[in-house]
Amino acid sequence: MRARATDARRAAVLGSPIAHSLSPVLHRAAYEALGLGGWTYDRFEVDEEALPGFVEQLGPEWAGLSLTMPLKRAVIPLLDEISETAASVDAVNTLVFTEDGRRVGDNTDIPGMVAALREHGVEQVDSAAILGAGATASSALAALSRVCTGEIVAYVRSAARAAEMRQWGERLDVEVRIADWTEAAGALRFPLVVATTPAGTTDALAASVPERPATLFDVLYEPWPTELAARWSMFGGAVVSGLDLLVHQAVLQVEQMTGLAPAPLQAMRKAGEHALASRTDPRHRTDNAR
């Protein structure tokens, strides 16, 4: 499918909670830059129980869906086809409806991570560390399998999380060494550190940033910067943000849903930055801030 400016097509992001998703901001900015005046992109609060009914009632005007938690795994039984990338981590964040009505699932988080790293000059590293072992960590591990040629160490809080990361490593054919979270300060000396933890979790590590840090990829974008990212930048290290990831994965979604490439990366990034500024600075706040 190749989008036309006169098409009246729909897309949306689903999840729970979803009220503060930036996806509508990014996708609408892309449609405007591409001249797709007939395209709309909305967001809907949908949980796992409601997902099958929501998808079943969609009409032929729907081009695709973006999926966030807790739907990335729940959507898989509803698909006709799933990409190798998505299958490798049992997570789908992109559903595209083909012209013949098929539902095709993909994961743009993984290539989005790789693209965000490359934009910041990280093509290949000989070792890397992952902070955390939650849902995002599996995608980070898959992304690192494409850029890291040597050891990957995951710093985790529990034996259960350690077992999960070992399982993901085996599934992705990546050797993962597990370290306890109490040793997480040691992660900061790796050439690439990927922080996948919730807000506030890495704050205590900020005091341990080395004098010459390499590259930090912090998947958070709000609040930003995190204490770790701020300290990292102050010491001259390179920082890749969660907004970088969000924009790059959205670029790939826009290209898949519209059939138009390249998607307008810079226009989407600018829209995302403005939306985040509107949330944090009352002088820029609007009713449409997301």
Active site residues: 72
Residue 95: how many other CB atoms lie within 10 Å: 27
Q: Residues near 246 by Cβ (< 8 Å), separated by ≥ 6?
A: 22, 23, 26, 112, 221, 272
The β-bridge relationship of strands 215-218 and 192-195 is: parallel
Q: Residues near 158 by Cβ (< 8 Å), separated by ≥ 6?
A: none
Structure tokens at 267: 């226009």
**Residue recorded with tokens 């900015």:** 29
Phi-psi region of 132 (alpha: psi -120 to 50; beta: other; left: phi over 0): left
Structure tokens at 136: 């995002």
Structure tokens at 122: 């990280």
What CA–CA distances, in Å, run from 239 to 78, 82, 105, 200, 274? 37, 32, 30, 17, 19
Q: Quick one: which of 229, 226, 221 has its CA closest to 249?
A: 221
Rounded (10°) CA dihedral 207, 233, 68, 12: 150
